[in-house]
Amino acid sequence: MKRLIIVFLGLFSAYVYASPEWVNGEVVRVDQSRSRIVLKHEYIPSIKMAPMTMPFGVVKEIPLDQYRPGDKVRFQIKVVDGTLDITTMEKLK
Ligand SMILES: [Cu+2]
């Protein structure tokens, strides 16, 4: 029983560690042909990045043609070889 609890706690902390972090931002520019987007983003706690305007790569599953400059969005990122890719993005009302 004790071992079961330990296994459960281990799984739970792994889940918390991997739980997605949403970051809010605003679309500045969309570059659909290169699958990139420039966002003005808020502070990103997981990588301690200050608020700024910067380009991100975007996974091809995200329909960039639906985003326009000025759109308020929230998104999730992953770090790949030192560059940031957006893996999930949705508009905020
Ligand atoms: Cu940044």
Ligand 1 is an ion; its neighbours by CB within 5 Å are 49, 52, 54
Nearest partner of 76 among 8, 2, 18, judged by Cα = 18
Q: Regarding beta strands 83-91 and 52-58, do their DSSP bridges make them parallel or antiparallel, or are they unpaired?
A: parallel
Q: What percent of the chain has pLDDT over 90?
A: 70
CA 34 to ligand 1 center in whole angstroms: 19
Over residues 20-56, the pLDDT tens digits come to 899 999 999 999 999 999 999 999 999 999 999 999 9
Give the pLDDT mean for 47-74: 96
Ligand 1 midpoint to CA 42 (Å): 8
Whether 45 maps to a domain, the answer reads yes
Reading the block at residue 23, the tokens are: 């970051």
CATH of the domain at 31: 2.40.50.320
Pairing type for strands 23-31 and 72-80 reads antiparallel
Please report whether residue 13 resides in a domain: no
Total number of domains constituting the chain:
1
Does the predicted TM-score (pTM) go above 0.75? yes
Q: Does residue 5 lie in a domain region?
A: no
- Does residue 10 sit within a domain? no
Euclidean distance between CA atoms 10 and 34, whole angstroms = 40
Residue 9 CA to residue 81 CA, distance in Å, equals 31
Question: What domain range is 84 assigned to?
Answer: 22-91
Q: Let me know if residue 8 belongs to a domain.
A: no
- For residues 12 and 89, the model is more confident at 89
